[in-house]
Structure 1
């Protein structure tokens, strides 16, 4: 399992592309030469651990009058080669040069008159390998990896025998060396290829391409085209769309073009288009997610009296609208809130801005019951709230956005709103007087609910045990850009 997780660093850093798509993505990632250098270092560490203990097939043969058998041959040490990862139009080319491999095994021989046995040590020097790593996507938009075209060369193989008669070694040592050399080529290639094809594919299968959001929305990070590569970096374009979880469907708009960035000083760059959040807002409006009936019980205890029509404090809706005290005494006012149109978010080079428009219907609800003879009975049948009036509320806001670990967090600030009465059964309502009630509703209920979602954050797709190091966030046109280094910690 350790090798499966470790190779994931290498896979994360090679699973990116330069897209020539006409449709802009909602999410884009770039891996630079710095990232590839780190990936190569991690991959070599994984290979070094994986190849220790690898068995070389038993060897038997005849040399002159000697029949020999070599058994239990296994690799005991692997001194890492000088290595690098380079890019080509089809993927990644991984090379290693001048590694040293130590092996140990048992030998047995017999001649016409003598038989003997012992053990031996082998040192293979000048071991080099190369491997083509092809990257693609499967039918579900998941990344797929496959190694091909492996090649291994070995400079020399020397043997040290223990036990037996030394005069016999020279009769078959050169033949044994050639046998082991040939067998070792296949084993090294097998270890490198298996690390990619088996462990690597297993690691990629765990890469999240969808993320659940408040058990209602589903963020789709799937790839929609085959990878492509540049000389000095790799880029990957992803869907980056948030759908309604139970019935995913694309919004009637596409992501705006992502702004270019030439910086390659960090290992990894992530472009997050504001299309991602706007697609969520569209789905929320379509499925009536942004609707809420607010009552006094939703407010903090100290503010609940603000919705009373019969006032025992100065600041309550009954004092703001005196007719409520007269016509609807001993009631509390409920606010039936819903968005009037799709809210929107726009990233700019200086800020993240949001706007929304909503409708709030006000109702009076008795709090003392429906006793016979009580005049509440005139306007409230079986405690059904009585309609009062409707407000149109517009809201504008900015947001503080930050990245921590592998998650983007957001919090609203500078919230401003305006109100206008659009329908009423109550005369002489002052729009400005209602600002107080709306302020309480927004700042004690609505905005905290939005910020609670922002506090949970938007998880970025990363493979297990790969972490961001010193990530920074900058704003661009319609885009949030994250720059980070990476660290693998199994």
Structure 2
């Protein structure tokens, strides 16, 4: 099967295939997560310094001192990114980090009394904590709600290997030294709780809200829209993470129901970062809505150099032109030209068989005296049925088609200028085939845009 190989940060395979109710399947292979293990620090660098620690209160219960202490205004002053690794399992995705460091700054306040001096005292000052060897283990699964993806955090642990505490500001240094082990324990506990709390109840909630707010109808220009929904919960294995969805491209307010087709084929022996399967239904919905929206018009006239000489109503004895086969046309409109107005007669459709993309177009070709804007009533109509091979390719952020071999057949629909003889159809077979190629190219060269978010870039080639 012909594949369209694309690079999204690296390489992606897009395969056009037969499939079931879904019209698209995307598989994130191990290489994708290996890449983000290297690039994930960009997300961490942005999010970790935003963590806000709440005011923490703890009792002081030592042999010589009793009371309570609070840590407040804690913030991350410096941060060195840990090393990050994504792992795939049959149950979801796990995220691990190690190494890295950060500095925490804030204030402390203690209310206490010494057992040998039973009256309450108060001290306050600053605290600085340097944490190194940050270890975070987090697992997540994905699921679908209202046909949109959501993420759920599973297990989460966060610890540090080393934590150095310095405090100051008080007036009794030996009392401050008694607080250091307690503050050390408090901050370690805060790191664990706040990191996982932030992951579960802040970042994931915001991320899920963002995913749920994504429009299921995305404009892509010229009043065309991509409609999408997720068909089922994603699947995770030790080698890949994949999900299926229903994606269609339609015009205006139209809708399209995908056809039931066969299962997805294999990803191939050398999958890249991402493998995507696209159903023929996506292209067929696009073509159907373009047909229903009367968008598939193409005019062949005297300005079309490849066929202009054949469109004359009058020509010499040894020349071939329209007038030679229609005496009424030559008599009524001498020394003029015929405009051929191509439009789809029925919805075009594509078929995928044995790895080949075949496009089937049926055109109604209306004959008008040039200029058509003045002579609006057609003199005759020819039906041109074509079957062509299409080679998809990527350019920028659009998928285009390159027209390959094409076969065509001609038949008369009606004529007010005389019968379309077999001699005429044979003589003009090549003219109408060439015109049909121009019309089909006008459709497939517009391309299908791929929505791109943030700074993701795509480049590709046929392989």
How many equivalent residue pairs? 430
In structure 2, what is the equivalent of residue 35 of structure 1? 32
Q: Secondary structure at the match of 2:33?
A: helix
In structure 1, what is the equivalent of residue 425 of structure 2? 431
Separation (CA, whole Å) in 1 of partners of 2:29 and 2:353: 25
- Judge conservation of contact 2:400–2:445 (CA < 8 Å) in 1: no
In structure 1, what is the equivalent of residue 3 of structure 2? none
**Is 1:231 the equivalent of 2:231?**
no
Which residue among 20, 23, 47 is the counterpart of 1:23? Answer: 20
User: How has the CA–CA distance of structure 1 residues 463 and 207 changed in structure 2, closer, same or farther, with 3 Å as cutoff?
Assistant: farther
In structure 2, what is the equivalent of residue 450 of structure 1? 443
In structure 2, what is the equivalent of residue 281 of structure 1? 287
In structure 2, what is the equivalent of residue 76 of structure 1? 77
Separation (CA, whole Å) in 2 of partners of 1:473 and 1:218: 26
Map 1:296-445 to 2 at 5 A: 296=301, 299-300=303-304, 307-310=311-314, 316-319=321-324, 321-329=326-334, 332-347=337-352, 351-364=356-369, 385=377, 387=379, 389-421=380-412, 423-424=414-415, 425-427=417-419, 430-435=424-429, 437-438=431-432, 441-442=435-436
- Judge conservation of contact 2:310–2:322 (CA < 8 Å) in 1: yes
Separation (CA, whole Å) in 2 of partners of 1:207 and 1:300: 45
- Judge conservation of contact 1:122–1:158 (CA < 8 Å) in 2: yes
- Judge conservation of contact 2:159–2:188 (CA < 8 Å) in 1: no
User: How has the CA–CA distance of structure 1 residues 310 and 99 changed in structure 2, closer, same or farther, with 3 Å as cutoff?
Assistant: same
**Is 1:255 the equivalent of 2:261?**
yes
Separation (CA, whole Å) in 2 of partners of 1:106 and 1:214: 55
| Cα deviation 1:198-236 (Å, max 9, x = unaligned) | 442355357565444664554333211122222211121
**CA-based RMSD:** 3.9
Q: Secondary structure at the match of 1:426?
A: coil
Shift, 1:142, TM fit: 2.0
**Is 1:144 the equivalent of 2:141?**
no
**Is 1:56 the equivalent of 2:53?**
yes
User: How has the CA–CA distance of structure 1 residues 385 and 289 changed in structure 2, closer, same or farther, with 3 Å as cutoff?
Assistant: closer
Separation (CA, whole Å) in 2 of partners of 1:439 and 1:201: 52
Separation (CA, whole Å) in 1 of partners of 2:281 and 2:316: 48
User: How has the CA–CA distance of structure 1 residues 53 and 170 changed in structure 2, closer, same or farther, with 3 Å as cutoff?
Assistant: same
- Judge conservation of contact 1:296–1:305 (CA < 8 Å) in 2: no
Map 1:103-252 to 2 at 5 A: 103-108=104-109, 118-139=125-146, 141-155=147-161, 157-164=163-170, 165-194=172-201, 196-201=203-208, 203-205=210-212, 209-212=216-219, 215=222, 217-251=224-258
Separation (CA, whole Å) in 2 of partners of 1:413 and 1:391: 23
Gap runs ≥5 in structure 2: 1-7, 9-18, 114-118
- Judge conservation of contact 2:86–2:95 (CA < 8 Å) in 1: yes
Separation (CA, whole Å) in 2 of partners of 1:451 and 1:23: 25
Taking structure 1 as the reference length, what is the TM-score of the superposition? 0.73
Separation (CA, whole Å) in 1 of partners of 2:76 and 2:378: 84
Q: Secondary structure at the match of 1:329?
A: coil
Separation (CA, whole Å) in 2 of partners of 1:113 and 1:249: 76
User: How has the CA–CA distance of structure 1 residues 258 and 124 changed in structure 2, closer, same or farther, with 3 Å as cutoff?
Assistant: same
Q: Secondary structure at the match of 2:267?
A: coil
Shift, 1:393, TM fit: 1.5
Q: Secondary structure at the match of 1:393?
A: strand
Separation (CA, whole Å) in 1 of partners of 2:225 and 2:261: 17
Separation (CA, whole Å) in 2 of partners of 1:348 and 1:315: 39
User: How has the CA–CA distance of structure 1 residues 113 and 292 changed in structure 2, closer, same or farther, with 3 Å as cutoff?
Assistant: closer
| Cα deviation 1:367-407 (Å, max 9, x = unaligned) | 9x9xxxxxxxxxxxxx67463x4423222323332124543
The structure that is strand-richer by fraction is 2
Shift, 1:109, TM fit: 5.4
In structure 2, what is the equivalent of residue 464 of structure 1? 454
Shift, 1:269, TM fit: 1.0
- Judge conservation of contact 2:364–2:384 (CA < 8 Å) in 1: yes
| Cα deviation 1:53-89 (Å, max 9, x = unaligned) | 5343334555617875543322223444444333344
Q: Secondary structure at the match of 2:399?
A: strand
Separation (CA, whole Å) in 2 of partners of 1:308 and 1:472: 42
Q: Secondary structure at the match of 1:23?
A: coil
- Judge conservation of contact 2:220–2:226 (CA < 8 Å) in 1: yes
Q: Secondary structure at the match of 2:329?
A: helix
User: How has the CA–CA distance of structure 1 residues 208 and 37 changed in structure 2, closer, same or farther, with 3 Å as cutoff?
Assistant: farther
